[in-house]
Every structure is written in C-alpha cells, then in structure tokens.
Structure 1
Amino acid sequence: NFALYLTLLLVYSALGFWGMPLALATIGLKGIFLFWAALTAVSLVTVNYLPHSMEERAHPSPTSVDLSLPFLIAALAGVLLFNIAVGVSWTNIFLIGMEISHDEQAVANALLVAQIAAVGGALGAVYVERRYGRWRPMGVGILGGAGFLVLLLLYPNYTVFFLSACGLAVLSNFVVPFILSEASDMSTTGEMMTRAVAMQMTGIAAGPFLAGRILNFAAGFTIVKVMAILLLVLSFLALIPPMLERRRIMAKSPA
C-alpha cells in the first residue's frame, strides 16, 4: 500500500512538473492554487475509507522492539533532518535548473523524467528489503542522494542537472519506506510510525521555509545545495545509533 501511494504521488508530481509552464501561461498562479484547492476538497470523499484508529493494528510487528527515549529522539531527529533536506532540495530543484538552463520546458522535461524514474525507486524498495535488509539500502539512498547534490554543486550544467535530479528523485523515494519502517519497528505499539510521519511532514514543510530564509541573504542556489548535503549526512548519522540498538536487541532476543 505504501509503495502504491508513493507511485500515485510520483505520477501526479511528474504530470505537475511537466505541465507547470503551460499552466502558468494559461491560468496563472492563482488558477493553479484554485485547482489544488478543488482537488483537496474532492479528496474529502475518501475520509470514511481510512483507518479509524491505531487500535486497528491487532499484532505488533515481529521485528519491532521498544527502544529507550534517547534512541527514539535520535531516530525522529534523523527522519526530520532527512525530510528537511528533501524539502530544501526538491522544492528548489526547478529554480536550480533554471539557474543552469534558462529553457523552462527543458527543465520541466528533466523533472518529468526524474519523477517517472522515482516510481521505480519507490517500488524497488519492496524487493530490495527482502534481500538486503534496511541498513545498506538506507546508507545508499541517503548518502547517494548527497552524492548527486555534490555532483551538481561541482558541475552545474544541464546534463549533470538531469542526472542529479533523476538520481535524487529515485534515491529519496527509494529510501523513504526504509526510514519509516525502521522508525516504526522502534516501538511495539506502532506509535513511532505516527511520530515519524509527523516528522516527515514537518521536515518537508520546514525545508522550503528555511531555504527561503537563507536565499534572502545569499545570491544563487549554492547555499541551498550545501545545506541539503549537510542535512542528508547528519540525518544518516542521527539514524545510526537507534538502528544499531535495535539490531543489538533483536540479536539478543530468542528466535
């Protein structure tokens, strides 16, 4: 279900990026916001089909443990930092592209391909976990995303922008299911999933705000790229202690 949700979200985003130049030219920014408001209103019809409470989870996951508060705080901090990084980078990716190439449609086309490619990242997480667990995929996803931003920082041309946008989209959506699953398994009650999703939404919302504040004092998007890189690295460092503690407890528990 989570992979399906990400797939639908990415398809919607891909179409949005592709059609943004045409939408701005025809209905303007006001029309776009009215369209989003209408879609949000229509989505209310699905509310009755959502789970009513966490009590519907009858049995805890067999891989879940109860970590102490410091480890839970570190895990939630990691989730928050990762999503701030995503918010900082992805909400400015169109403007970063425009700084490199002044062709709006070329940038929109690159982001369309990136969003379509990201579908494979979201779906691939389902199959990769069965073979490699979570530790290595999370490292590849988070640090790999930072690597693509470093590449874009060092070589700001359209080809590198295209590759970096695709790589960042694939890896960020690839790693999200691993991060949320790992956080969820740090509590047997399932409450950590709720908190992790809250941190996810907070981070995605805070990212653009922080980037905007920084851009008020700096010209160009170099500072945005550097900020996103540092946040990704810090998020992985914050996640390491709780992940190691969960593995330690799992190793000591009877089979």
Structure 2
Amino acid sequence: MTVLGTGTMGAGVARSLLRGGHRVTVWNRNADKARPLADDGATVATAAAGAVADAEVVLLTLFDTDAVVDVLEAAGGDAPEGAVWVQASTVGVAGTETVVQLAEKYGITLVEAMMLGTKGPAEQGTLTMLAAGPADVLDRVVPVLDAIGAKTVRAGDRVGDGTALKLAANAWIASITAATGQSLAIARGLGLDPQLFLDAIQGTASDSPYAHTKGAAMVGGDLAPQFALDGLRKDIGLIGEAARSAGVSTTLLDALDRVYAQASAAGHGAEDIAAVGTAFRRDAQ
C-alpha cells in the first residue's frame, strides 16, 4: 500500500502499517520527511505517480485541500484500476466535495478514514478512525484501518460523513484544550498551584483524560508538537465554515479562533495545541 504525505501523522501511520506486516511505499513533497522511513522498511518513492503505480490502497495524509488536489492531479490516473483511495486529510466540507469531484474525474474508488488522535496514537497504531463510504469498499480496507487504529467508527455510506464527524470531534478538542488552559490560568492568577485544578477534577464527573494530557503539558511547559497549534487553527476555520453553512451558531468557535490566533501570533503556531494556554497569561493580554 501507499501513504502519500509523511508529516507528523503520515509518518506515524506508515510505521504502524509496517509493524502490522504491510508492504508500504511512501512519498512526500519534501523528500527529507519521507527518507527516514526507509530505515523502518518502507519504499521511498520520488514521485507521487510512481508511488501509487502498484498500490492496492492509497492513503492520503496531507495538510489541506490544496495539497490533496495537487496530489490527485499528479497521480490520480496512475494507480491500478482496482485501487482504493482512502482520504484521511482534514479538508472540510467544501474541500471534500472538491476531492469527490476529482475522484470521479479520474475514476478513483474513494472512501474516507479521518484520523482522530495525535502523533503518539498515530505512531502506536491506536488512532480512532472515522470512516465513511460504501460498506463493501470500506470492508476491503479494514486491515489497513485496524493497523493504524484501535477502533473504527463508520459515520455513513457517503464520503463526507467522516469529515462531518471529524469536524465535530475537533471542535471538542479545540474547546477542551482551551478551557483547560483557561482554568489553569485562573488558578495560577489567584495564587494557587495550577496543578490543583487537575487534581480537583480527577475522578469526578467533569474529569477528562485529555484535560490531564494537555494540562500536564501546559503546567510542565512541554510543548513539543503532538498536534501543531496552527494545524488546529486551520481546522477551526473549516469547522466555522461548516457550522455557518449548516445554520449553527459559531459564537464559541469565533472565540476559539481568536484565542488560538493569539497564541500563534505570539510565536507558538508550530508548537503543540497545549500552547493555547499561553494566550491566557496576564502578560499575553
């Protein structure tokens, strides 16, 4: 199988596929990001078209709509006729419609498998996969989904249903991460050790493992990217567009957009989303 895009998530899932016994070809526009995977047993292709030439499954793990479109235009006609293309890039509602149209143009069999999780789960093969597409086609890629995910949620039989679920899930991720940063900042600002907030919610009805994961990063200052802040900012924009088109209020999304943008403007865009906590500091106002 082939993985197109070997950034933080793509490299992780490629390694999980290799551990699962799959023969994997990888390609990335920046070849330096793909080359290290050769040491793990992957075949590193120099062009997208060549990477898909013999693929039974093609996994798209790219940053945005433009990147997916570029790859489909470059390689869409070069895969075997029976290959299944698995769109795993977060590109939003409009972006997904564009991808579907291109798939039809090139006669591509397309399904979705959005990845819910960050760098660690991608490398460990414990992502949650949000899949969508015809059931019989999804059945063909179950071994791939099982190699990179701990569970798969089938969102529907239409390519786009997986995207819809991913946008809803990432709205939650953006909200809970920012809310954790705000609560830690309030505790600190009122003279307390911010760790006390995490201790207080632990084991209660309001507890969340994610709050502890990101809260620990905020308290300890470990902002090495598991999910880059600017990547989530991109997703918040896509979520807002989808919400407005569906008639859903964006009041909270607009606030989230501002606070993540503030953290990015302060130089934290390439750091983990836990860096949103910096936007609540007194000196950041």
Larger relative helix fraction? 1
- TM-score computed with the length of structure 2 as normaliser: 0.27
* Structure of higher RCO (CA pairs closer than 8 Å, 6+ residues apart): 1
